Structure 1
Amino acid sequence: MHRKPLDTEIDHHTAKFIVGFIALSLAIFTDLLTPGVSISSISLSYHLTDNARNVFVGSLCVISAFLWSYNGYSLFQAVLSKVAAVAVAAVAFFPCDCFTGRGVEEVAREATMIGIVHTASAISMFIILAIFCWLFYLRAKEKDSKEAKVRGLIYRICAVAMVGAMAIQLLDILDWVDFSGITHRLTYYVEATSLFAFGVAWLTASRMLPFVTNEDERIRIELSGQ
């Protein structure tokens, strides 16, 4: 008996769900996989343990692939997602200068071109992801349902959280406010906050979560052969 093959395509809603889940978990896993070290940056995990590096690079590669495949609802969004995909991949494959070896006692060296590419890519990535949060909000704003209004609020909060986190990092870098004097993990918290906001926004945009989507909008993952 011949059966119809299962539909293996992943639409943009499923992609958003997967990307959102990975973004939510990345900071947690990189922290857990570097035992004995209070990492000051998620990118620092690249230099500490093989498991942390593999999770860090692998997760970013998956996010990059899905961002590359995402076209959104306009040419602008399609181009923006491609630029974000390249930036995410660059963050993964161009290690930061925050650590040059695997010994905690090593002293950081001068900035290298690879490190500069990493930092520039990370900044570009978070800026674009914040823009996507706002684009999601504008789309939700066009709908009148209660759930759409809730989604719009979530998108705005996520956008503000990402921009606010980046602003705190910038103020510290410019020595206008000594946030790093409060905690040496400032960069980690900024990155974790931005990734968490990114993850929440994309999980919400997947339209697979209850309470933020009505029955007509909700997307369910189903096997077409069943």
Structure 2
Amino acid sequence: MDRELLDTEIDHHTAKLIVGAIALSLAFFTDCLTPGVSISSISLSYHLTDNARDVLVGSLCVISAFLWSYNGYSLFQAVLSKVGAVAVAAVAFFPCDCFTGRGIDGEATMTGILHTASAVLMFVILAIFCWLFSLRAKVKSSKQSEIRCWIYRICAVVMVGAMAVQLLDFLEWVDFSGITQRLTYYVEATGLMAFGVAWMTASRMLPFITNEDERIKIELSG
């Protein structure tokens, strides 16, 4: 294939860097684009301003598109990424009940249920990917890969921990209201930031955690 054509393509390393940056910044931008409101969840921004909704839906669509195109290093990873892509898209296109709270009859709406279930599935899959990344990094014999391995594992634990905190609050086993009224926002923001750090790390384009041989391989492949 012509070298000039290769240079115009975005390989999966660059895509991971872009997606990671989006995940890192999404909570910040949705908060900033809802002036005068301390949003209780990132999803709530969908209902408040056009700009916040556009950023939320647009960012999730980019992440979904990348996950759909990503096949990883095995059939399991390929299938997992496709399921994750559908879950992320569902989060974008099935808005939460957080604005109205409940349906007209007092029960949660199907749209809200799909939104919540998709969000949980999304974070579970992203946490699994972090763990898979750590296993791949572990087999490599370099100081940089060892650092990446620990970053992936920490990010996976942070995601699972954030979901556990939300579950404890949902089941009313722990009352976090005395600490913050924005628990869901902080849980979502923490999960997205962990996701962003993990995937930016997986891009192998960050200094200090990618050795020279790996950078050369990326340049030759792209």
For the superposition of Structure 1 and Structure 2, which TM-score range results when normalised by the shorter chain?
Answer: over 0.9
Of 123, 126, 132, which aligns to 1:126?
123
* 2:181 counterpart of 1:180: no
The within-5 A match list for 1:57-136 is 57-100=57-100, 109=103, 110-136=107-133
Which stretch of the first structure deviates more once superposed, 110-119 or 49-58?
Answer: 110-119
For this pair of structures, how many residues does the alignment match?
A: 215
Deviation at 1:8, TM superposition (A): 2.4
Equivalent AA in structure 1 for residue 126 of structure 2: L
Other-structure match for 1:103: none
* 2:19 counterpart of 1:31: no
Other-structure match for 1:139: 136
Question: Deviations 1:58-117 (Å, cap 9, x if unpaired)?
Answer: 0000000000000000000000000000000000000000013xxxxxx65441000000
Which stretch of the first structure deviates more once superposed, 76-85 or 110-119?
Answer: 110-119
Q: Which has the larger helix fraction?
A: 2
Cα separation, 2, equivalents of 1:156 and 1:5: 36
Other-structure match for 1:104: none
Root mean square deviation, CA, Å: 1.8
The within-5 A match list for 1:160-199 is 160-199=157-196
TM-score in terms of structure 2 length: 0.92
Same amino acid, percent of matched pairs: 82
Deviation at 1:126, TM superposition (A): 0.2
* 2:13 counterpart of 1:13: yes
Other-structure match for 1:159: 156
* 2:203 counterpart of 1:206: yes
Equivalent AA in structure 1 for residue 156 of structure 2: A
Equivalent AA in structure 1 for residue 214 of structure 2: E
Aligned residue for 2:215, secondary structure, equals coil
| CA contact 1:14–1:221 (8 Å) conserved in 2 | no
- Structure 1 unaligned regions, length at least 5: 101-106
Are the structure 2 counterparts of residues 97 and 13 from structure 1 closer, same or farther at C-alpha, using a change threshold of 3 Å?
A: same
TM-score in terms of structure 1 length: 0.91
| CA contact 1:168–1:179 (8 Å) conserved in 2 | no
